Amino acid sequence: MYQLFRSLAYIHSLGICHRDIKPQNLLLDPETGVLKLCDFGSAKHLIKGEPNVSYICSRYYRAPELIFGAIDYTTKIDVWSAGCVLAELLLGQPIFPGDSGVDQLVEIIKVLGTPTREQIREMNPNYTEFKFPQIKSHPWQQVRYVI
């Protein structure tokens, strides 16, 4: 994971967002242990104020702001995706296995709790559908470590 975050730090320092971080886009040399980030087909140089498409990134690794339809996102979406990959390594399965965008959001809410209106506005100021069930975040003190 260190190598993944180093590669993200490098491309992010250049203003490039990969926009499709997932296990299938990580190549690991079994002899040297060197990890390489691949498939830059969705990558983009992000420019503040320039709109981007929100339907990007593979579903299980899609950041909440993308699900909310944000078009002014940052490289933070790659960090979210990398966190999902890390969780998948620890759990042995995707942490947010939704079947659709809405289902994906429900899976995220089950773990992190219902976002506040303020949090939703930060992700996408134009989002107007504020009808979510109030779900408390997962009681992390009860989570067992899978190591």
Which residue numbers are catalytic? 20
- Rounded to 10 degrees, the C-alpha dihedral 130/81/49/105 comes to -10
Best CA proximity match to 17, nearest among 42, 39, 50: 42
Answer yes or no: are the C-beta atoms of 132 and 115 closer than 8 Å: yes
Residue type, 75: T
CA angle (145, 4, 16) in 5-degree steps = 135
Map tokens 């250049």 to a residue.
Answer: 14
Answer yes or no: are the C-beta atoms of 70 and 93 closer than 8 Å: no
